[in-house]
Structure 1
Amino acid sequence: MNDIFDALRFAEPTYLVKTYKDIYRIQASTCSIDTDLKIICFYNKGSVQAMFRVDDVKTFYKII
């Protein structure tokens, strides 16, 4: 008999990034903003999923 927890898959956090040109959905576990370089980086398990220049981003939200 299978355990009920064998079939569970946890949802990964998703970020919704709105730029002045388009909208992006990025699956990432963490986000960091480098104020010196003016870059927003999205990471998942230690690897970079996406990078945006701060000047290009209108807003971004974390969707759980």
Structure 2
Amino acid sequence: AAVLNGTELRKLQPIKEGVIIIGNESKGISAEVLALCRNRITIPRHGQAESLNAAVATGIILSHII
């Protein structure tokens, strides 16, 4: 699950399979779905921005974990 306070992408090992959950830009991931997730990940950021476009965030995450 992509969240604001997860493990930074740079600290993750490459993975071979899994599911990435991306919430929408304004509401994030619902509490019900988040409760089902084993891992929480974060894109490192500079400044106080709270979100990225969901498609951009997905691309960044995929480029780091594959």
Settle same-fold status: TM greater than 0.5.
no
Higher share of residues assigned strand: 1
Q: Which has the higher helix share?
A: 2
Greater RCO (CA < 8 Å, at least 6 residues apart) = 2
Task: Say which one has the larger Rg.
Answer: 1
TM range (shorter): under 0.3
Q: Normalised by the size of structure 2, how large is the TM-score?
A: 0.27
